[in-house]
Amino acid sequence: MKILVADKISPKGVAFLRQQPGFEVVEAYGSSSEKILELVKDVHAIAVRSETKITAAVFAAAPLLKVVGRAGVGVDNVDVEAATERGVVVMNTPAGNTIATAELTFTHILCGARPVAQAAASMKAGQWDRKTLSGFELFKKTLGIVGMGRIGGEVAKRALAFGMKVVAYDPYLAPSRAKAMGVEAVSLDELLPQADYITVHMPLTDETKYMINAPALAKCKKGVRLFNCARGGIIEEAALLAALKSGHVAAAGLDVFEDEPLAKDSEFRALPNVVLTPHLGASTAEAQESVGIEIAEQIADVLRTGAVRNAVNMPSMDAAAAKVLAPYLDLGAKLGTLLQQISPKQLAKLRVTYQGRIVDLDANAITRSIQHGFLRRISGDGVNAVNAPVLMSRLGLAFEVVKTSDAGDYTDLIELEATAGDGAVTNVRGTLIGRGNQPRIVGINGREVEVAAEGSLLVLENLDQPGMVGAVGTLLGKDKVNIADMSLSRLTPGGTAYMVVRVDHEPSESARAELKNHPAIKLAKFVQL
């Protein structure tokens, strides 16, 4: 498999990829967009930093592409929507630059308290200006941290070591974690007026864009100091400029900007109370080596084992979890494809019910496998666990997931139910049996059956009358189709019964027509799992 390293990552990361059996590594640093389109025609993976743009055109030109790995956190240079559409995993390395970014943030906080950068510039200009370069202590001041993920947490540790009080806003911060870290969890409206220093550590989303805007700054105490080493656009730059000029914000430290590189005529460059750095958050030797090695390992895992870590467009699953989930993923995919083949074509809703021990596992991955199986014969080879939810939504299908700890007679049970526009319901049930966790079909449309979920199946609904097994067996025998397994089920004697026959190969068209035309057979479906 071929891996394109489009941006310069750690040499140790490149060396790791070259050492993997069956991998061919192409280094193409600084390539033009036209050259990238040419290079990706036969690549299975791409490694980038922030320079190379992986656009929709790149994905369209790369039919073999399975994964794009970003050595760093932000994936602004990758069209994630186009990747998902094409079924390509996009991964980043959120942990690799944690310490580097936290340390740079705290450097900015220190420079916001003590005008070190301004003092250094004045000294080099031949001045000795002690009076105007006086600063403030961090001790006993309040630091407000907006976003308490990995980086925010590391900044909090350093602030506490300086004797600061830390208040934190994060909608996902559990009170128990806040207490364990020694910080006070507050709302954003509570944080703004009490913080002497504010640093943001949120991803840039529709919800966080301009979350620190003019109204938010107006709530801050006069003389607040503001810092952003996360993503440009979280702080509204126009509002910050106005607040800096008015003196409401005493100082700022910025490593990221709404548009990068920062324009040469940006007003920020002329303000004496602002320290600017050119997006250096991850720019340490240790961080670059760490993220380079980490993304190389993650790419190798995807290509070799299918294990996915730090994906931004699908649930992550490490090698250990992949091993545990493998039989459930197989079962889910087979139940999905079985349901699709025995259901009406026009469906309104699908429901998945997980029962028993399975509810403690990663149901997201299993659900995607079910969707993949359901779509496999509809959407072709291009569907996979990455793009299955997107493709499913395009069909207009409502999708519901239900979980219950009660699995009845089974340890684990997956039940799929499809509802047609006219209200007709089709359902299938499956479980794992034996030490080898063999997938088994244990129910179809309310009838209990038991047949291995593999190979080719004939699913028959017939009148419950003598001679049906012989009639089906004779017909298949005449057609030279060998029966590998058979399961019979009925609800009441003399009503309708189900016959699920596992066969070695598909019956001929004439044999299938004869089955469908048999007066006692109401339904005959040939299913390929």
**pLDDT tens digits, one per residue of 258-278:** 999 999 999 999 999 999 999
Give dist(CA 194, CA 187) in Å, integer: 11
Give dist(CA 497, CA 492) in Å, integer: 8
Per the CB < 8 A criterion, the answer to whether 48 and 354 are in contact is no
Which of 38, 51, 260, 267 is catalytic? The answer is 260
Give dist(CA 422, CA 345) in Å, integer: 12
Tokens of 257: 């900007």
Indicate where the chain has its CATH 3.30.1330.90 domain(s). 316-453
> pLDDT band at residue 436, thresholds of 50, 70 and 90?
confident
The pLDDT of 142-160, averaged and rounded, is 96
For residue 309, pLDDT over 90 is answered with no
Tokens of 307: 């294990």
Averaged confidence pLDDT in the chain: 92
Of 193, 167, 189, 164, whose CA–CA distance to 178 is shortest? 167
pLDDT tens track for 178-206: 999 999 999 999 999 999 999 999 988 88
For residue 98, pLDDT over 70 is answered with yes
Q: Is 321 exposed, middle or buried (0-12, 13-18, 19+ CB in 10 A)?
A: middle
Question: Active-site residue 260, yes or no?
Answer: yes
User: Looking at residue 470, what is its pLDDT?
Assistant: 93
3-state secondary structure of 450: strand
Q: What CATH architecture applies to the domain 455-529?
A: 2-Layer Sandwich (3.30)
Secondary structure letter of residue 308 according to DSSP: B
The pLDDT of 61-90, averaged and rounded, is 92
Give dist(CA 15, CA 19) in Å, integer: 6
Indicate where the chain has its CATH 3.40.50.720 domain(s). 2-96+286-305, 98-276
Question: Class assignment of domain 316-453?
Answer: alpha beta
Give dist(CA 284, CA 367) in Å, integer: 40
Give dist(CA 162, CA 104) in Å, integer: 16
Question: Active-site residue 231, yes or no?
Answer: yes
Which of 108, 231, 368, 447 is catalytic? The answer is 231
* CB proximity list for 394: less than 8 A, separation 6 or greater: none
Give dist(CA 397, CA 340) in Å, integer: 13
For residue 318, pLDDT over 80 is answered with no
User: Looking at residue 40, what is its pLDDT?
Assistant: 97
Could you tell me the CATH superfamily of domain 2-96+286-305? NAD(P)-binding Rossmann-like Domain (3.40.50.720)
For residue 234, pLDDT over 70 is answered with yes
The CB-side HSE value for 289 (13 A sphere, CA atoms) comes to 4
Of the segments 75-79, 425-429, 490-494, which one has the largest average pLDDT value? 425-429
Per the CB < 8 A criterion, the answer to whether 209 and 232 are in contact is no
What is the secondary structure of 185-201 as a DSSP string?
E--HHHHHHH-SEEEE-
User: Looking at residue 64, what is its pLDDT?
Assistant: 96
Which of 86, 201, 279, 309 is catalytic? The answer is 279
Please give the backbone phi and psi of residue 205, each rounded to the nearest 5 degrees, phi first.
Answer: -135, 180
> pLDDT band at residue 391, thresholds of 50, 70 and 90?
confident
Residue written as tokens 């390395």? 93
Tokens of 372: 């993949």
User: Looking at residue 384, what is its pLDDT?
Assistant: 82
3-state secondary structure of 340: helix
Topology given in CATH for the domain delimited by 98-276: Rossmann fold (3.40.50)
For residue 404, pLDDT over 70 is answered with yes
Global pTM value:
0.68
User: Looking at residue 381, what is its pLDDT?
Assistant: 67
Indicate where the chain has its CATH 3.30.70.260 domain(s). 455-529
Interaxial angle between packed helices 285-305 and 98-113, expressed in degrees from 0 to 180 and rounded to the nearest 10: 150
Give dist(CA 96, CA 297) in Å, integer: 12
Whether omega before 261 lies within 30 degrees of 0, making that bond cis, reads yes
For residue 416, pLDDT over 80 is answered with yes
Q: Kindly state the helix (H) or strand (E) to which residue 338 belongs, with its residue range.
A: helix 319-342
Please give the backbone phi and psi of residue 413, each rounded to the nearest 5 degrees, phi first.
Answer: -150, 135
Of the segments 254-268, 379-393, 405-419, which one has the largest average pLDDT value? 254-268
Start-to-end Cα distance in the chain:
28
Of 238, 240, 210, whose CA–CA distance to 224 is shortest? 240
